[in-house]
């Protein structure tokens, strides 16, 4: 199997699906000739031409609104929003229209598209190139939300997302676009939506995490192991609908849980995960569930490595939970 | 009104301005310069559809006042704009509605019964009771899905038309919106994208004078809404929106232009909202009754009636007969809709996703275990 980074794996998935299905189109700002500001769509313009790899005017609302129309027609658009921080001009189209189309039309008009967007911090991008807005798309009915942590999953989840009947927000953790490398299956390769991955098996503390923070959690888990704490690390992969079974099975075994995410703490996905654990595994808990997250502040520039829930913040939470 | 302070607001007079396409003269004759050449059976069918829309509006408001339906948003005064434009589209074309175009949905074949079912939100409602009255859908008739946010359908219509162009299929899209929607992000996005990509779109602005309580001069300082097209490289045309023939003419021209691959057109139909915004609105709070007289004189239905009286000898007796027939049809539909069951409780959870995910299964089961589950629907 070839070695790829995340950018190459996502590019490979797009190319594969565009060859397989001529209804698939890519559109967005700078996705055409230049191949995207992160080069994720590089080479697609040359292979598929300007009617399937489309440089659009600079308007996120226009990109998503027209992509919805294309989807209603029967195309399978995969629009790119250049940074997830810039998705909000399209929020009305995503939340009030895309997410509701099948429901509000009594099933007549399922509107299916996959919105790809780089997310997360740690690239010295400041507030407007660093946020993690996933929870804001989970709280509205009708969207699936995905966030891969490695190249093989990125390819497999993207292909599964494109073939899924529902609209998908596909968050790509930009901090590990090139840093995360690994073997990626050639040709067709899907990873089912809604299935988490147990990346590290353990007995004492469950860590639930996704995207770039997976590597911080693994680092913290390795450090905790040196102190005799054996962590189980769950990479959520699909954030919504999440794999509750894998989480609850693990928590029933460990009785202790730490949830890690980059997004602000309050009303983040971590809060929902903890609430579900309380509902479904309360009597198995040996310690209060803990969240290690971004703070409820705007995303800072200079202090970004203090804002992010890096391993130096995860480790104390693991130890405290284990020793409660 | 000399129009110097609020140029857009003067539009009863604009209907006589030189750039406004007008075909139907006051005496019921047609200006041959722009006559779309409708056959008399076509005109009678359209007249009937306009009278039916008017009757529906009047009866549905009464139904709402009686508390039998929750809401209605009508098109009284705008029937020629809506039906003339819907008529001008070809069978292979699509219509993306705002929320005031039920007459276009009926024109495209949505059965009256299904529309009335929508008013009651019952189990036969095309949208299964999930939206307010007048938020229907009719894909069989290539008619889109109504939502409430302003302008969102505009970019979607452009994307749809653009997709047809990419697939090299001959389909244009008519998208309806009001004068208020020209202030929305989506109007700008839609016009801009359609201009750049030459998407075969017919932008149809029903300039009815009002966005709820806000008049047109609060929406724009532009002389006209049609001229907004200049900035996007999209040709604009104004027509007398209460003149069925003028609306057909300009819409047909726009469709032909789209079909030739020349791209979008914006039509500004000068018309007037003779009632409130919806049943939730009382226009007396912001609109003096006196100003309505000039618009009542331009009511599209009596204007068309003068034409058919002149050309076919249409009589008052025929009007009475038509009204009785339409009234009976509506009464029957209401009787059926009122007796039709409400949507099943579990239908609340269907169609959120293609398949029911675990969390919705749990929530559905919780509702079905609840005290109100038994006897629901009666």
Q: Is the dihedral of CA B30, B34, B37, B43 positive or negative?
A: negative
* Residue B102 banded pLDDT, cuts 50, 70, 90: very high
Question: How far, in Å, CA of A65 to CA of B157, rounded?
Answer: 9
Same-domain pairing of B94 and B202: yes
Q: What's the whole-number mean pLDDT along residues B71-80? A: 96
State whether residue A25 is helix, strand or coil: strand
Give a yes or no: residue B1 inside a domain: no
Asked if this assembly's ipTM is beyond 0.85, the reply is yes
pLDDT at residue number B7: 38
3-state per-residue secondary structure call for chain B: CCCCCCHHHHHHHHCCCCCEECCECCCCCECCCCCCCCCHHHHHHHHHHHHHHHHHHHHHHHHHHCCCCCCCCCCCCCHHHHHHHHHHCCCCCEEECCCCCHHHHHHCCCCHHHHHHHHHCCCCCCCCCCCCCCCCEEHHHCEEECCCCCCHHHHHHHHHHHHHHHCCCCCCEEEEEECHHHHCHHHHHHHHHHHHHCCCEEEEEEECCEECCEEHHHCCCCCCCCCHHHHHCCCEEEEECCCHHHHHHHHHHHHHHHHCCCCCEEEEEECCCCCCCCCCCCHHHCCCHHHHHHHHHCCHHHHHHHHHHHHHCCCHHHHHHHHHHHHHHHHHHHHHHHHCCCCCHHHHHCCCCCCCCHHHHHHHHHHHHCCCCCCCCC
> Span B346-366, mean pLDDT?
97
Contact list in B for residue A164 (CB cut-off 8 A) is: 354
Q: How far is A51 from chain B (nearest CA, A)?
A: 6
Supply the pLDDT for residue B374.
Answer: 77
B365 and B274 in one domain?
A: no
Residues B237, B353, single domain; the answer is no
Q: Are residues B290 and B370 in the same domain?
A: no
- What is the tens place of the pLDDT at every residue in B258-275? 999 999 999 999 999 999
Please write the tens of the pLDDT for every residue from B314-324.
Answer: 999 999 999 99
CATH number for position B70:
3.40.50.970
CB neighbours of B15 closer than 8 A, spacing ≥ 6? B22, B240, B242, B243, B270, B298
Chain B residue with CA closest to A241: the answer is: B357
Pick the catalytic residue from A129, A189, A204, A261: A129
Q: Tell me: do B357 and B296 sit in the same domain.
A: no
DSSP letter, residue A324: -
Which domain covers residue B349, as residue numbers? 344-378
Tell me the three state secondary structure of residue A189: coil
Please state the φ and ψ torsions of residue A145, each to the nearest 5 degrees: -130, 130
Instruction: Tell me: do B96 and B157 sit in the same domain.
Output: yes
Chain B residues whose CB is inside 8 A of the A109 CB are: 137, 139, 144-145
Question: Which residues of B sit within 8 Å Cβ distance of A?
Answer: 125-128, 130-131, 135, 137-139, 144-145, 147, 149, 152, 154-164, 166-167, 185-186, 188-190, 192-193, 196, 350-355, 357-359
Say if residue B357 is in the same domain as residue B212: no
Could you tell me if B134 and B102 are in contact, meaning their C-beta atoms sit under 8 angstroms apart?
A: yes
Helix/strand/coil for A95: helix
B94 DSSP β-pair partners: B173
Q: Domain map of chain A by residue range?
A: 3-183, 197-322
Q: Is residue B85 part of a domain?
A: yes
Whether residue B235 sits in one domain with residue B330: yes
In 3D space, the residue among B20, B22, B42 whose CA is nearest the CA of residue B30 turns out to be B22
Q: From the centroid of its chain, how far is CA B86?
A: 9
Catalytic residue among B100, B135, B277, B303: B277
Active site residue B176: no
Residue whose token pair is 């909202």: B273
- Contact between A271 and A297 under an 8 Å Cβ cutoff? The reply is no
Q: Per the domain annotation, does B2 fall within a domain?
A: no
Domain for residue B356, yes or no? yes
Give yes or no: residues B158 and B73 share one domain.
yes
Whether the predicted pLDDT of B73 surpasses 90: yes
Distances from the Cα of B288 to the Cαs of B283, B285, B291, in angstroms?
8, 8, 6
CB contact under 8 A, A104 and B135: yes
Give the nearest chain A residue to B348 (CA atoms): A103
Q: In degrees, to the nearest 5, what angle opens at C-alpha B206 toward C-alphas B201 and B210? A: 140
Contact B152 A72 (CB under 8 A): no
Residues B222 and B250 in one domain: yes
Per-residue pLDDT band at B378 (split at 50, 70, 90): very low
Task: Pick one of 3.60.15.10, 3.40.50.970, 3.30.70.60, 3.40.50.920 as the CATH number of A197-322.
Answer: 3.40.50.920
| Residues B204-222: tens digit of each pLDDT | 999 999 999 999 999 999 9
| Structural domain count of chain B | 2
For the record, the structure tokens of A42 come out as: 């590089």
Question: Which range, of B23-27, B40-44, B51-55, B125-129, averages the lowest pLDDT?
Answer: B23-27
Show pLDDT as tens, one digit a residue, over chain A (324 residues).
999 999 999 999 999 999 999 999 999 999 999 999 999 999 999 999 999 999 999 999 999 999 999 999 999 999 999 999 999 999 999 999 999 999 999 999 999 999 999 999 999 999 999 999 999 999 999 999 999 999 999 999 999 999 999 999 999 999 999 999 999 999 999 999 999 999 999 999 999 999 999 999 999 999 999 999 999 999 999 999 999 999 999 999 999 999 999 999 999 999 999 999 999 999 999 999 999 999 999 999 999 999 999 999 999 999 999 999
Q: Do domains A3-183 and A197-322 have the same CATH topology?
A: yes
CB-based contact B102:B146 (threshold 8 Å): no
Q: Are A314 and A292 in contact (CB under 8 A)?
A: yes
- Is B122 found in the same domain as B89? yes
Q: List the structure tokens of A275.
A: 């609430």
| pLDDT digit string, tens, across residues B357-375 | 999 999 999 999 998 887 6
CATH code of A3-183, in short, is 3.40.50.970
d(CA A148, CA A302): 27
Which residues sit opposite A25 in a β-bridge? A77
Note whether B301 and B378 are same-domain residues.
Answer: no
* Beta pairing partners, B207: B270
Look at residue B102 and tell me if it is in a domain: yes
Kindly state whether residue B173 falls inside one of the protein's structural domains: yes
């Amino acid at each position: 199997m070839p070695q790829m980074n995340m950018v190459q794996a996502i590019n490979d998935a797009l190319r594969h699906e565009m060859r397989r299905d001529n209804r698939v189109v890519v559109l967005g700002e700078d996705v055409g000739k230049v191949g995207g500001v992160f080069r994720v769509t590089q080479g697609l313009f040359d292979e598929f031409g300007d009617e399937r790899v489309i440089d659009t005017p600079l308007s996120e609302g226009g990109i998503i609104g027209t992509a919805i129309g294309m989807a209603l027609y029967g195309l399978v658009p995969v629009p790119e929003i250049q940074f997830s921080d810039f998705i909000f001009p399209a929020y009305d189209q995503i939340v009030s229209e895309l997410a509701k189309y099948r429901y509000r039309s009594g099933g007549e008009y399922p509107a299916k598209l996959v919105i790809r967007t780089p997310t997360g911090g740690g690239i010295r991008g400041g507030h407007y190139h660093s946020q993690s807005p996933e929870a804001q798309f989970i709280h509205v009915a009708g969207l699936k939300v995905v966030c891969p942590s490695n190249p093989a999953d990125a390819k497999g989840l993207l292909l599964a997302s494109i073939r899924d009947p529902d609209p998908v927000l596909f968050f790509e953790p930009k901090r590990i676009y090139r840093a995360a490398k690994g073997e990626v299956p050639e040709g067709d390769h899907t990873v089912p939506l809604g299935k988490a991955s147990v990346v590290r098996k353990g007995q004492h503390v469950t860590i639930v995490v996704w995207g770039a923070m997976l590597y911080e959690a693994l680092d913290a888990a390795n450090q905790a192991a040196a102190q005799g704490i054996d962590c189980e690390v769950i990479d959520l992969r699909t954030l919504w609908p999440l794999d509750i079974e894998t989480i609850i099975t693990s928590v029933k075994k460990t009785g202790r849980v730490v949830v890690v995410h980059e997004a602000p703490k309050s009303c983040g996905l971590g809060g929902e995960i903890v609430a579900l654990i309380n509902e479904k595994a309360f009597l198995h808990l040996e310690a209060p569930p803990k969240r290690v997250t971004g703070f409820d502040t705007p995303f800072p520039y200079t202090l970004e490595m203090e804002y992010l829930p890096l391993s130096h913040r995860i480790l104390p939470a693991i130890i405290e939970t284990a020793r409660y | 009104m000399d129009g110097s302070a609020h140029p857009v607001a003067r539009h009863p007079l604009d209907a006589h301005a030189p750039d406004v396409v007008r075909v139907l003269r006051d005496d019921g004759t047609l200006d041959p310069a722009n006559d779309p050449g409708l056959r008399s059976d076509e005109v009678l069918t359209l007249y009937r559809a306009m009278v039916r829309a008017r009757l529906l509006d009047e009866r549905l408001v009464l139904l709402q006042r009686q508390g039998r339906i929750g809401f209605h948003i009508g098109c009284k005064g705008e029937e020629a704009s809506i039906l003339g434009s819907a008529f001008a589209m070809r069978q292979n074309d699509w219509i993306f509605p705002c929320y005031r175009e039920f007459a276009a949905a009926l024109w495209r074949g949505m059965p009256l019964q299904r529309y009335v079912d929508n008013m009651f939100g019952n189990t036969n409602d095309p949208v299964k009771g999930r939206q307010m009255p007048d938020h229907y859908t009719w894909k069989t008739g290539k008619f889109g899905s109504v939502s409430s946010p302003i302008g969102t359908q505009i970019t979607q219509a452009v994307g749809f038309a653009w997709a047809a162009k990419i697939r090299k299929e001959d389909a244009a899209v008519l998208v309806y919106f009001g004068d208020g929607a020209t202030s929305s992000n989506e109007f700008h996005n839609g016009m801009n994208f359609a201009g750049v990509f030459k998407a075969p779109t017919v932008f149809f602005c029903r300039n009815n004078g009002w966005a709820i309580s806000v008049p047109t001069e609060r929406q724009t300082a532009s002389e006209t809404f049609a001229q907004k097209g200049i900035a996007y490289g999209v040709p604009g045309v104004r027509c007398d929106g209460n003149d069925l023939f003028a609306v057909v003419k300009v819409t047909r021209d726009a469709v032909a232009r789209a079909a030739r691959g020349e791209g979008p057109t914006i039509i500004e139909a000068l018309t007037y909202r003779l009632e409130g915004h919806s049943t939730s609105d009382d226009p007396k709070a912001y609109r003096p009754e006196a100003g309505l007289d000039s618009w009542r004189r331009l009511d599209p239905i009596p204007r068309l009636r003068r034409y058919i009286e002149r050309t076919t000898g249409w009589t008052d007796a025929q009007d009475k007969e038509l009204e009785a027939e339409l009234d009976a049809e509506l009464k029957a539909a209401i009787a059926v809709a009122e007796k039709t069951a409400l949507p099943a409780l579990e239908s609340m959870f269907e169609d959120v996703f293609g398949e029911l995910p675990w969390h919705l299964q749990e929530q559905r089961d919780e509702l079905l275990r609840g005290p109100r589950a038994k006897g629901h629907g009666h």
